[in-house]
């Protein structure tokens, strides 16, 4: 607010750069004020990733619950598929049988080689025995590879956190049967911000870097910055993200009151305590050449300028009027 000093010595300052006359009189002039629109913003994580089951089975361990802090790679659950145990057992049995056959084939091959050395057996017979040994060895290698596949599938039963962050939801319980691809837990990480949904008619008034006022659960106003405006309009609303330092992220999805700058206009504002009420009407004291008089006014919205509580005067004051504090308060 621009205030002119009266030709009197002044004693104190109530606002940085604004001086009061000794009797507190000020001469008002129109000032540019910002119009604010109140909307609700929702606390959301920058990155929300689901920790999913990679195999089907039964959840035998679930080590997290909503609100827990986790690190990337931390084990948060275990899924067991008993059919994998049976399949590994079946593969082991086949390997044992093939190894027994391989042992017998090696014995036959050794005997054939001895007979060939004596001239009793032909090279063709020895080659056939060698081929049989190679077949068994290949079959054993294939079965061992299949066993590793089943073992790897068992390891896939371990569910880990994909990112550092907070567990937002856990839609399953221990001992539940789950299919591959289903969500075990949802992790929110990368910091938290406020997501706004704003009517599209106000989209042109928003700009990256705008200062946004947020009211926290304790009623305290804090400043944030408009960090991102999404180009897609959905349902007649524009989505925008606000970065807030030290945002309380205890409750993801919590709604906070947000004030958005919708534009600027000229207005007459005076200190809030200069306005007083009598018999249901609002008055200010106006100083004129022949004395001080009461004048009725219609106050508007309250604004805060440099930490000083001010109020807009809609009617009753004009630019150049001199107002003084109410001495009868």
How would you write the pLDDT of the chain (329 residues) with one tens digit per residue? 333 333 333 333 344 333 345 457 888 888 888 888 888 888 888 889 999 999 999 999 999 999 899 999 999 999 999 999 999 999 999 999 999 999 999 999 898 888 888 888 788 888 899 999 999 999 999 999 999 999 999 999 999 999 999 999 999 999 999 999 999 999 998 888 889 988 888 888 888 888 888 887 777 888 889 889 998 888 899 999 999 887 877 778 888 888 888 778 888 889 888 999 988 899 999 988 888 889 999 998 888 777 778 899 999 898 888 999 887 65
Contacts of 72 (CB under 8 A, 6+ apart): 160, 161, 162, 163, 164
Residue 151 falls inside a structural domain: yes
Distance CA 26, CA 6 (A): 7
Domain that holds residue 101: 82-155
Is 208 within a domain?
Answer: yes
CATH at residue 315: 2.40.420.20
Residues 250 and 215 reside in one and the same domain: yes
The contacts found for 143-152 with CB under 8 angstroms, 24 or more apart, are 143/91, 143/94, 143/95, 143/98, 144/95, 146/91, 147/88, 147/91, 147/92, 147/95, 150/84, 150/87, 150/88, 150/91, 151/88
Q: How far apart are CA 271 and CA 306, in angstroms?
A: 12
For the full predicted model, state whether its pTM sits above 0.85: no
215 and 280 belong to one structural domain: no
- Tokens standing for 192? 């938290």
Backbone angles phi, psi at 24, to 5 degrees: 80, 5
**Is 259 in the same domain as 275?**
no
Specify whether 314 is located in the same domain as 255. no
Q: How many domains does the chain have?
A: 3
Q: Which of 135, 155, 175 is the last residue of a domain?
A: 155
237 in a structural domain = yes
Residues 151 and 87 in one domain: yes
The CA distance from 112 to 108, in Å, is 6
């Amino acid at each position: 607010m621009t205030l002119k000093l009266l030709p009197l010595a002044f004693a104190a300052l109530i606002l940085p750069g604004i001086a009061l006359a000794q009797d507190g009189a000020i001469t008002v002039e129109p000032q540019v004020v910002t119009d604010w629109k109140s909307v609700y913003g929702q606390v959301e994580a920058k990155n929300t990733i689901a920790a999913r089951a990679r195999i089907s089975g039964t959840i035998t361990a679930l080590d997290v619950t909503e609100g827990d802090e986790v690190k990337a790679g931390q084990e948060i659950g275990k899924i067991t598929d008993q059919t994998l145990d049976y399949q590994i057992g079946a593969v082991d049995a086949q390997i044992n049988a093939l190894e027994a056959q391989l042992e017998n084939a090696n014995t036959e091959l050794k005997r054939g080689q001895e007979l060939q050395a004596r001239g009793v057996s032909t090279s063709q017979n020895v080659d056939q025995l060698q081929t049989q040994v190679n077949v068994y060895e290949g079959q054993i290698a294939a079965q061992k590879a299949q066993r590793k596949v089943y073992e790897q599938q068992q390891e896939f039963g371990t569910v880990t956190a994909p990112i550092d962050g907070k567990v937002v939801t856990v839609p399953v319980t221990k001992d539940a049967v789950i299919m591959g691809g289903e969500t075990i837990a949802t992790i929110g990480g990368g910091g938290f911000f406020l997501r706004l949904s704003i009517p599209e008619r106000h989209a042109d008034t928003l700009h990256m870097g705008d200062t946004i006022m947020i009211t926290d659960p304790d009623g305290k106003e804090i400043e944030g910055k408009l960090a991102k405006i999404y180009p897609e309009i959905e349902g007649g609303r524009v989505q925008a993200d606000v970065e807030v330092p030290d945002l309380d992220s205890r409750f993801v999805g919590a709604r906070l009151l947000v004030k958005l700058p919708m534009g600027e206009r000229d207005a007459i504002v005076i200190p809030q305590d200069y306005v007083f009420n009598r018999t249901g009407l609002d008055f200010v004291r106006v100083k004129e050449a022949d004395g001080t008089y009461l004048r009725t006014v219609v106050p508007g919205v309250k604004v805060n300028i440099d930490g000083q509580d001010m109020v807009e005067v809609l009617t009753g004051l004009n630019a150049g009027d001199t107002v003084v504090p109410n001495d009868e308060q």
